Amino acid sequence: MGNRFSAIAAGPFFALAVIKPNNPPVAVGSDSRVGSRATVGSNVTLGPDVTIGIRVSVADGVSVGTGTRVLVGTRIGDNTVILPWSRIGADATIGDNVRIYYRAVIADGAQIPDGARVRRVRRRR
Question: Could you give the percent of the chain with pLDDT greater than 90?
Answer: 65
Vertex 15, ends 74 and 17: CA angle to 5°?
40
CA distance linking residue 112 with residue 106, whole number of Å: 9
**Separation of first and last alpha carbons in the chain:** 59
Residue 4 DSSP label: S
User: Which among 31, 26, 120, 36 is positioned nearest to 82, based on CA atoms?
Assistant: 120
Q: Cα separations (Å) of 80 from 1, 32, 63, 93, 125?
A: 28, 18, 6, 12, 32
Give residue 63's pLDDT band: very low, low, confident or very high (50, 70, 90): very high
Give residue 11's pLDDT band: very low, low, confident or very high (50, 70, 90): very low
Q: Where are the domains of the chain?
A: 26-113
Q: Mean per-residue pLDDT for 49-76?
A: 96
CATH 2.160.10.10, domain 26-113, yes or no: yes
pTM of the model: 0.82
Q: Is the pLDDT of residue 92 over 80?
A: yes
Q: Are strands 17-19 and 6-8 parallel, antiparallel or unpaired?
A: antiparallel
